[in-house]
Chains A and B, each alone.
Chain A
Amino acid sequence: MNLGRDDRTRRSERVGESLTWLCGGALAFNLLMIVAVIGFIGYRGLDYFWQGRVALCRLEDGRRLLGEISGREERPPTPGKTLEMTGRLQLRVGNRDVTGAGFVWIDDDQIAEISYPEDALLLERLEWGHFYGRAVELRRGDEVLARGPDEVWRAFGPLHEEKVARREAIERLERGEIGDINFEIERLRLAGKRLARRDLSPDERALQEAAIAHETKEREAQYQVLADRLFEERESLAEEQLVMETADGERNAIAVGEIVRAVRPNAMSLLDRAGLYLGRVREFVWDDPRESNTEGGIFPAIFGTVLMVFIMSIAVVPLGVLAALYLREYAKQGVLVRTVRIAVNNLAGVPSIVFGVFGLGFFVYLVGGSIDRLFYPDALPTPTYGTGGILWASLTLALLTVPVVIVATEEGLAAVPRGTREGSLALGATKFETIRRVVLPAAAPGILTGMILAMARAAGEVAPLMIVGMVKLAPTLPLDHHFPFVHLERKFMHLGFHIYDVGFQSPNVEATTPLVFATALLLVLVVTLMNVAAIVVRNRLRRKYASSAI
């Protein structure tokens, strides 16, 4: 008997081997793509916070430019003019209030000399963006507090700290007390309108109206006091001025209170730079945006994204789990159930904007409009729930992602062995008890898998949200200290939309391109973080019910 491998076996092994290579290659390619995407976004995004040196370029025609080199472009030789490759530098020169443009391109052959002066000063301002220049003097009105770059730099530090503290106090005042009073006044206005619609005797009505009017007047007086104080504080921000000189020698006075941060990049050690880096990351993550989103932080967008995904999860998990329970445990398996299942699966393939349109028509206009008519008639015609808001956006996304949860839950339920259910029933448990105490806990990891997939999908959706409540800039967060603390009717910001807005809707595209990467990186991080949290929970559940190999 011939025990050697015959031709067929050998051929099949060869095919099998090359198939293994093909599969491995495909996997490697996919991994490479993922690493490349994350790596590229990560590199460009993290680069945004790094402070480079500030270059002083003297040009052949005698002009001088001060700024950071932000890019370079090679150009093919121009026939008849040059033979070699030439290039041009992109310089971020800031000073938009003086020069009009924040960036300039300079051809290589125009540059006579590049130097990096120690006293070059970079100011990040509340308005108009960066300012590059040299400090000339520090003034309070006509009085000169310090003169010359070094003396000014020394005097500036403590003064600036004081102004920053004051600015924060003003912000607190605006958000806190003044916000509270505005809130009260609005409440009184609505109370007045409600009164007008109530059925009261003339005396009673007059009495109540007077009470409301009285209180309103009191609030308004309080408001006036605070507004005056605010005005004074604001004035004091502009008391001291930093006189700067651009590279061209033009002078410009900048209020100290307007300055967010001042650094001398060329005099900084690596450690200083690292500190500055962290400071900017912190600001980016925790602060509000400024200058129509092109500067400052993106905290409201992070908050909006996370809260929306959170509300969506709260809505989608019970909905999906209940639907899956019915389909798998209670419904009689047959043609109808199979059809429903196919329909549910196909729902996941409907373009997301269609869900957005549905959300607008159903949630916003129909449900929201009815809520307004029933519960907020006094505020009309200003809609409360009858306009886009975070609740409607979350529910729209919940509809969008519910098939994912249903499918994953059904799989989880199907994986619970029949023997386990029978074990429970044989002890005298009802079907409901069996599902609640045995089947659902055993299917929990599957349910969580569905939730993770739903969250990942929801955090990345932008299109449907644009019509159900997502905005470029939301004045308030959907969560604050005013009763009832969670304001689900409010508009919200979202990282995905922020990327689009900053990158493609901003007038200052060069300055904001790095911001796009930084925001994208943050979006990836936020989604990853939420998923990791859910995965940790799932693994803990799995470990709890770890099965042995019997």
Chain B
Amino acid sequence: MEIKISPVNEGEWMESDVSAMGTDDAVRPEIKDALFQIDSLSFWYRESQALHDISMDIPSRQITAYIGPSGCGKSTLLRCFNRLNDLIDEVRIEGDIRFEGASILDPSVEVNSLRKRIGMVFQKSNPFPKSIYENVAYGCRIHGIRRKRDLDEIVERGLRGAALWDEVKDRLDESALGLSGGQQQRLCIARALSVEPDVILLDEPCSALDPVATAKIEELMQELKKRYTLIIVTHNMQQASRVSDFTAFLYHGRLIEYAETKTLFIRPRKKQTEDYITGRFG
């Protein structure tokens, strides 16, 4: 199957093509307690549109996964949740995202407190060039916690939460850059946990890890789900089906199908979804 992507403003022919791709007739589940409500979100890097009119609700205390081929806009969408795209020059955003009912795209939103509540773990692990201890304590330090005793506790809690404590408890003062790739990624999770967020965004957290480290992080996510809302981007269909409760399939910046993970993987309603999860393209 071949899908043609053209600029938006090309008239009649385009219209039908867009609807043929199913922007508006995207399949959506009923979400009862939605934490995020995305409302016709479109996003542009300069002139090129990366997200097309996406609407979906994201449930609280569940794991929601985004899947889709490379370049389809998963990271872009994820970075809208904590407004990390603000850092990029000449982007434009339309539509809205509501977090607990309030818009987060509003210019009056305190971005720093928003980001404190919505943590993020990046595709490529990015520990600070500091000691392991300082990496985890960093977030709380900037939010004004100074007491050594409090910080010690936070560091331990964060590292335990990320299942890293036993491996590093004797070397907290060593450089974080001396850890293995998997340990670094878990350190980044510990860092995200340290500020007690409500949501954690994970952008392909396992893409650079081996199966053992991946399994550890997946296990960890099941644990974290009890207290946090997780949104994960992944390339790995097995991973999505293993860990997530809901899965959304993005394709060329459009939401194609969004459903409970079981449903999506067993009985996809859209042809494109089926093709993608069965590996016929991607």
Interface on A for B, CB 8 Å cutoff?
A: 332, 417, 419-420, 422-430, 433, 437-438, 441-442, 544-548, 550
| CB of A420 to closest CB in B, whole Å | 5
Residue among A426, A427, A547 making CB contact with B129, cutoff 8 Å: A547
The CA of A461 and the CA of B119, in the complex, are separated in Å by 52
Q: Which of A425, A433, A441, A550 contacts B130 (CB 8 A)?
A: A441
Query: Could you write out 23 A-B pairs with CB less than 8 Å apart?
Result: A419-B124, A419-B126, A420-B128, A420-B129, A423-B126, A423-B127, A426-B84, A426-B192, A427-B195, A428-B113, A428-B114, A428-B115, A428-B116, A428-B139, A428-B195, A429-B138, A437-B142, A438-B128, A545-B129, A546-B178, A548-B179, A550-B181, A550-B208
Report how many A-B pairs have Cβ atoms within 8 Å. 85
Give A426 Cβ to nearest chain B Cβ, in Å: 4
In the complex, are the beta carbons of A545 and B175 less than 8 A apart? yes
Residues on A with beta carbons closer than 8 Å to the beta carbon of B84: 422, 425-426
Interface pairs A-B: 6 shortest CB-CB: A428-B116, A419-B126, A545-B129, A427-B139, A426-B120, A428-B115
Tell whether, in the assembled complex, residue B138 and residue A437 are in contact, meaning their CB atoms are under 8 Å apart: yes
Q: Which residues on A sit within 8 Å (CB–CB) of B181?
A: 550
Chain B residue at minimal CB-CB distance from A433: B142
Do A424 and B130 touch across chains, with their CB atoms under 8 A apart?
no
Contacts of A442 in B (CB 8 A): 128-129
**Considering the chains assembled together, what is the distance between the CA atoms of A319 and B208 in angstroms?**
41
Report whether A545 and B112 are in contact in the complex, using a CB–CB cutoff of 8 Å.
Answer: no
**Which residue from B119, B122, B208 sits with its C-beta under 8 Å from A422?**
B122
CA distance A302 to B258 in the complex (A): 76
Q: Chain B, 55-71, contact with A by CB distance < 8 Å: what is the 0/1 string? A: 00000000000000000
Collect the chain B residues with CB atoms within 8 Å of residue A429's CB: 112, 138-139, 142
Q: Which of A420, A437, A550 has the most CB of B within 10 A?
A: A550
Tell me the B residues contacting A by CB distance below 8 Å. Answer: 82, 84, 87, 89, 112-116, 119-120, 122, 124-130, 138-139, 141-143, 175, 177-181, 184, 188, 191-192, 195, 208
B126 proximity list for chain A (CB < 8 A): 417, 419-420, 422-423
B125 smallest CB distance to A (angstroms):
8
Assuming the contacts A422-B84, A424-B138, A429-B142, asked whether A545 and B130 have C-beta atoms less than 8 A apart, the reply is yes
In the complex the two chains form, what is the Cα distance from A313 to B198 in whole Å? 47
- Complex: A419 Cα to B122 Cα, angstroms: 8
B66 nearest CB across to chain A (Å)? 18
Report A-chain residues with C-beta under 8 Å of the C-beta of B114. 428
Closest to B188 in A: A423
* Shortest CB distance A415–B (Å): 11
Known: A426-B120, A429-B138, A437-B138. 6 other contacts (CB 8 A): A419-B122, A424-B138, A426-B119, A426-B122, A548-B180, A550-B208
Contact of A547 among B115, B139, B177 (CB under 8 A): B177
A545 to B131, CA, bound (A): 8
**Among B113, B177, B191, which residue has its beta carbon within 8 angstroms of that of A423?**
B191
Q: Give B141's nearest chain A residue, CB to CB.
A: A437
Residues in A with CB closer than 8 Å to B125 are 550
Bound form: Cα–Cα A423–B201 in Å: 12
**A437-B138, A545-B129, A550-B184 given; A425·B87 CB < 8 A:** yes
Tell me the bound Cα distance from A428 to B82 in angstroms.
9
Complex Cα distance, B261 from A365, in Å, reads 78
Q: Are B129 and A548 in contact (CB under 8 A)?
A: no
Which residues does chain B contribute within 8 Å of A424, judged by CB atoms?
Answer: 128, 138
Identify the closest chain A residue to B125 (Cβ).
A550
Residues from chain B with a CB closer than 8 A to the CB of A419 are 122, 124, 126
Closest to A444 in B: B129
Q: Chain A residues near B130: list those with CB within 8 A.
A: 438, 441, 545
Of the listed residues B84, B126, B127, B143, the one surrounded by the most CB atoms of chain A closer than 10 A to its CB is B126
Asked if B191 and A544 sit within 8 Å, CB to CB, the answer is no
| Interfacial chain A residues near B119, Cβ < 8 Å | 426-427
A540 to chain B: closest CB distance in Å? 13
- How many angstroms from the CA of A547 to the CA of B178 in the assembled complex? 6
Chain B residues with Cβ below 8 Å from A420 are 126, 128-129
CA distance A425 to B192 in the complex (A): 11
Residue of A nearest to B86 (CB): A425
- Report the minimum CB–CB distance from A379 to chain B (whole Å): 49
With A438-B128, A441-B130 already in contact, the answer to whether A426 and B82 are too (CB < 8 A) is yes
Q: Which residue of B lies closest to A546 (CB)?
A: B175
List chain A residues, Cβ under 8 A from B180: 548, 550
On chain B, the residues within 8 Å of A544 by CB distance are 175
Complex Cα–Cα for A423 and B138 (A): 11
Bound Cα distance from A537 to B87, whole angstroms = 34
Contacts of B175 in A (CB 8 A): 544-547
CB distance from A150 to the nearest CB of B (A): 69
Whole-angstrom CA separation of A338 from B191 in the bound complex: 37
Chain A nearest Cβ from B136, distance in angstroms = 11
| A541 CB to nearest B CB, Å | 10
CB-contact partner of A427 in B87, B89, B115, B184, under 8 A:
B115
**What residue in chain B is nearest A543 (Cβ atoms)?**
B175
A423 CB contacts on chain B under 8 angstroms? 122, 126-128, 188, 191
B115 to A425, Cβ gap below 8 A?
A: yes
